[in-house]
Amino acid sequence: MLSPESLRRIDREIAKYPAEHKQSAVMAALIVAQDEKGWLATETMDFVAQYLGMAPVAVYEVASFYNMYNLEPAGQYKLTVCTCLPCGLQGSLDAADHLKARLGVDFGETTADGRFTLKEGECMGACAMAPVVLVNNKKMHDYMSNAKLDALLDELRKR
């Protein structure tokens, strides 16, 4: 199901907790699984559940609770825009509108070329630097004016 490298990474996470609490590693394990597969299919969550000795539905609870897990296939770059109140006051809704217009997709959709998925996010703890855009759960871009957003899209397209 998962590569030996992924399993090694998950085992490393499991080792951080007492043996009888290995389900504590579920969030990390899901991230590892998603890094490899791109998204969390039912079978992938099933595998993680079995690997950690948890009920599959308990894994599903976690995977559906947090924004960073993709329960559907996502584009090459997932752009998550925080639209919580402080960010919204700082212009993140305009930033989101700009991205929607540029990409031609709404929240939760993927561009036809499969390159970008746009997602609505929750607080990322960076309200002061709003608007913020998170790329593939890993890299955060702040103070996203329309010009910076365009630059970001161009840069990602070039990669």
Contact positions vs another protein (CB under 8 A): 42, 45-46, 55-58, 60-61, 64-65
Nearer to another protein, 61 or 97 (CB): 61
Least distance CB 74 / another protein (angstroms): 17
Beta-carbon contacts of 109 under 8 Å, excluding residues fewer than 6 positions away, are: 117, 118
Asked if residue 119 lies in contact with residue 100, where contact means CB atoms within 8 angstroms, the answer is no
Residue nearer to another protein on the CB measure, 56 or 91:
56
Distances (CA, A) of 107 to 18, 23, 67, 111: 39, 31, 12, 11
CB closer to another protein out of 86 and 114: 86
In the complex, minimum distance from the CB of residue 60 to another protein, in angstroms, rounded to a whole number? 5
CA 158 to the chain's CA centroid: 21
Shortest approach of another protein to residue 83 CB, angstroms?
Answer: 14
Whole-number minimum distance, CB 116 to another protein, in Å? Answer: 23
What is the rounded distance in angstroms from the CA atom of residue 95 to the CA atom of residue 93? 5
